[in-house]
Amino acid sequence: MQIIRKIKDLRRVIGSLKSKRRSIGFVPTMGSLHEGHLSLIRAARKENQQVVVSIFVNPIQFGAKEDLKRYPRNFKKDLASCKKEGVDIIFYPDIKEMYPQGYKTYVTVQGLSDLLCGKFRPGHFQGVTTVVAKLFNLIQPDTAYFGQKDAQQVLIIQKMVQDLNMPVLVRVLPTVRELSGLAMSSRNIYLTVDKKRDALVLREALIKARELIGLGENDPKEVVRKMRQVINKNKAAKIQYISIVDLKELKPIGRIKDHALIALAVYIGRVRLIDNAIIFRDVLKRNLKVSRLLRRDTFALT
């Protein structure tokens, strides 16, 4: 396994792989790897001849009052995890390598980046798309792997790839959860045992939404109202937003007809957590037992 810190060295290695027509699977991360990241790495390992993982805490996607300085970092542990999963290359640049003095170029996907999480984190998705565009340009992957937990991020990246004619297939894999049902996140490390228990209200609210829609409720306002009731029962939880939107433009829908994205952001104490579910109404209408349905974490984004 190679650890590469410099862009010039990365270009040389990637150039060699491309000359040999080796397929490249790429998993971009900010480190503090958990089972969700590892599921992406395993998929990349299975489907490609070479696997590249980037570890870079990207400063331009953090707001002024966000947790850049204290964002969890454990490169030694990440290195061991990557080695165990058969990663071929780790790209581990510093900030000056990615954003040298005088850097002035940014990538923005208009219309999608200021909704949902973007409404509350101005500039966040510009930071994401800029760094991902740079990484795609440097690594030239055949396939890049992302998790459904960051559904808005994935849709924005897919749109960027489409609009800029990037020759990259974006693969989206299901959210990986802890045994309790809490979506895995690097920020879960901030949660105490009690706070992790409190955080289960995000999942409980999504389950409530699925139950309601499966029983025929098609008014998103009513679904959101019931979700709020579930979350507000926990005094440690503070809702930032709950939205039911379409899967292309992320705009609120008047009726739940065919499919929809249910997305929410909730503070548990000082920790901001996100989660989502993608609902296909025809799936929910099938004669499946509710218990079986709710164990499923559908569904791939397209």
**Catalytic positions:** 37
Going by DSSP bridges, is the β-strand pair 259-268/271-280 parallel, antiparallel, or unpaired? antiparallel
Q: 265 is written with which tokens? A: 């952001």
Which string of b and e fits 186-215 if b means at least 16 CB within 10 Å? bbbebbeeebbebbbbbbbbbbbbbbbbbe
Q: Which residues contact 157 (CB under 8 A, 6 or more apart)?
A: 128, 129, 132, 144, 146, 170
Q: Which residues contact 166 (CB under 8 A, 6 or more apart)?
A: 133, 136, 160
Q: How far is CA 59 from CA 28, 109, 244, in A?
A: 15, 19, 30
Residue with structure tokens 């290695």? 13
Q: How far apart are CA 244 and CA 279, in angstroms?
A: 10
